Amino acid sequence: MEDSNTTAYSRPHFEASGGEPFPHPHEGRNLGQKERYASIAAGAALLLLGLARRRLTGLLLGATGAALLGRGVSGRCAFYRAMGISSAPSDRPGVPDNLGTKVERSITIRRSPEEIYQFWRDLENLPRFMKHVKSVKMLDNLRSHWVVTVPGGRTMEWDAMIINEHPNELIAWESLPGADLENAGSVRFHPAPGGRGTEVRVTMQYNAMEGLLGVIAAKILRESPGVQIDEDLDRLKQLLETGEIATASKRPVHSVIAAIEAVTETGESK
């Protein structure tokens, strides 16, 4: 059962989403609501201060104030645009093709496409091998809510939606409007030659939106694109091939509960 909301975002092909320009009511706006109000308040204060002084410093203060005021009212910041920073929340699904960071990675796993597809399609399995994904909760068959940890222990959240899928071959998704981190991705499953399992190909595109968190995330993604996906795919392979994730650390990596169960079961078998 699909409700009308979900079908509204469905598209026949994931790839097509990047090509068509997405209609946008506030073209070029790159400031968030809070930052706009702060800009207006500070701009107005400086302008008044500048007008009261009526000297050269006053003129400068006034000009700065006017610029801040304009920035706040319009929601556009030339400096942010030059730096590639945006603090406006996403008001569109997915990521326009020309924005953000795009990464492709692949790995071969000794499991059938069916097995890997089924494991991945239950999106709530993803935190088991995606290091920074704290939780994924299915909201319905296509929509899910994601909580992701970013450096410093803070979290970013968004809703995502499966926009295309072919059983045992492809799953494609994109974030829904309002995401802290606009993202879209696909995973493909293709039999490897000679019965060597399945080639799993992941394409991810991210575009940071809201404030400082987004800027940090974007910076990390730009500096080490794909590293996180590489690590996550290694762990997926370990999990599906061996049933566990290799670790030399003192603590379990994938599930505290599983380790506690393991120890308890050992105790019982004594």
Partner 1 sequence: MKAITWQGRHKVLVDTVADPAIINSRDAIIKVTSTAICGSDLHLYDGFIPTMEKGDVLGHEFMGEVVALGSGVSNLKEGDRVVVPFTIACGKCFFCEATQTSLCDNSNPNALMAERIYGASGSGLFGYSHLYGGYAGGQAEYVRVPFADVGPFKIPNGLEDEQVLFLSDILPTAYMAVENCGIKPGDIVAIWGCGPVGQLAIRCALMLGAERVISIDPVKGRLDLAATDKRVIPVNPEKVDLQSMLKELTGGRGPDSCIDAVGMEAHGTNLAAIYDQAKTAIHLATDRPTALRQAIMACRKGGTVSIPGVYGGYLDKIPMGAAFAKGLTFRMGQTHVHRYMQPLLERIQNGDLDPRFIITHRLSLSDGPAAYETFRTSQSECIKVVLKP
Residue 33 touches partner 1, criterion: CB under 8 A: no
Say if CB 132 and CB 204 are below 8 A apart.
Answer: no
- The interface mask with partner 1, positions 209-228, x = CB under 8 A, is ------------------x-
**For residue 64, what is the enclosing H or E element?**
helix 56-74
Distance of CA 164 to the CA centre of its chain: 18
The tally of CA atoms less than 13 A away on the side-chain side of residue 93 is 21
Residues 171-210 contacting partner 1, CB under 8 A: 196-197
As measured in angstroms, the least distance from the Cβ of 184 to partner 1 is 25
User: How far apart are alpha carbons 20 and 47 in whole angstroms?
Assistant: 42
Span of 2-10, 93-101, 176-184, 259-267 interacting with partner 1 by CB under 8 A: 259-267
* The one segment of 57-65, 87-95, 114-122, 234-242 that binds partner 1 by CB under 8 A: 234-242
# residues contacting partner 1 (CB under 8 A): 32
Task: Choose which of 1, 8, 248, 257 interacts with partner 1 (CB under 8 A).
Answer: 248
Closest to partner 1 by CB, 53 or 201? 201
Distances (CA, A) of 218 to 72, 222, 258, 265: 24, 6, 33, 43
CB atoms within 10 A of CB 109: 23
* Position 251 contacts partner 1 (CB under 8 A): yes
C-alpha dihedral sign at 107, 112, 118, 119: negative
What's the burial of 160, exposed, middle or buried (CB within 10 Å: 0-12/13-18/19+)? buried
User: Using the rule CB under 8 A, is 55 a contact of partner 1?
Assistant: no
Positions in 96-125 near partner 1 (CB under 8 A): 108, 110
Does 234 contact partner 1 by CB under 8 A?
yes
**Contacts with partner 1, residue ranges (CB under 8 A):** 108, 110, 196-197, 227, 230-231, 234, 237-238, 241-253, 258-259, 261-263, 265-266, 269-270
